[in-house]
Amino acid sequence: MNLKLTKQNRKWLHLGFAVEFFIIGLLLTTASKATTYEETVNRFCAKVVGIPYQSDNFSQEEWERFKYCKSTLIRNK
């Protein structure tokens, strides 16, 4: 088995790395956007309901309004 790096091999090796980095970047960007959208919705709904973001200090009514806001926005995405 010949594993020497030649000019021909290097071209394909560089192409392989480029494709790999492109796919990894695409996957990371997609995951990042999903998290960012959900966080944006959570922040918006917390503000609409009148509770602090990431707080556990709210009434049952506020929690129901928050869930309704969130489900409405995600459904219309």
- What is the average pLDDT value for the chain, to the nearest integer? 79
Count Cα neighbours of 64 within 13 Å in the Cβ-side half-sphere: 3
Q: Considering the domain boundaries, does residue 45 fall inside one?
A: yes
Domain that holds residue 34: 16-75
- Measure the CA–CA gap between 46 and 72, rounded to whole angstroms: 14
Please, which pLDDT band fits residue 63 given cuts at 50, 70 and 90?
very high
Tell me the whole-structure pTM to 2 decimals.
0.54
Q: Considering the domain boundaries, does residue 49 fall inside one?
A: yes
Q: Considering the domain boundaries, does residue 28 fall inside one?
A: yes
Q: How far is CA 42 from CA 15, 30, 49, 50, 53, in A?
A: 41, 19, 11, 12, 7
Across residues 59-69, what is the average pLDDT? 92
pLDDT in tens, 24-47: 777 767 666 667 788 888 999 999
How many independent structural domains does the chain possess?
1
Q: Considering the domain boundaries, does residue 37 fall inside one?
A: yes
Name the token pair of 49: 């309901």
Please, which pLDDT band fits residue 74 given cuts at 50, 70 and 90?
confident
